[in-house]
Amino acid sequence: MKEAILIIQIITSLFLVVFILVQVKGTGFGRVWGSGSSSFTRRGLERLIFRLTFLTTFILIFISILALSV
């Protein structure tokens, strides 16, 4: 059981690192693909990645607390 929790924790942390690295500081994903429009709200893929980052963070915290109790 402890090994399974450790593996899930490692996979979740890797997803979190990827989600953080994919986020672009500044004008958003438009800067990555060369779009010239500047928008201050998160839309589309940028919003999805932002929400997945928070969801993955909460999952990682939950699994870490669970690993401490096992």
Query: What is the model's pLDDT at position 24?
Result: 74
Query: What is the model's pLDDT at position 29?
Result: 56
* Rounded CA separation 2/64 (Å): 11
Q: Is 28 exposed, middle or buried (0-12, 13-18, 19+ CB in 10 A)?
A: buried
Query: What is the model's pLDDT at position 30?
Result: 56
Query: What is the model's pLDDT at position 27?
Result: 56
* Rounded CA separation 19/56 (Å): 9
Query: What is the model's pLDDT at position 39?
Result: 54
Residues of the chain with pLDDT under 70: 26-40
Domains of the chain, residue spans: 2-69
* Rounded CA separation 45/59 (Å): 21
Query: What is the model's pLDDT at position 46?
Result: 87
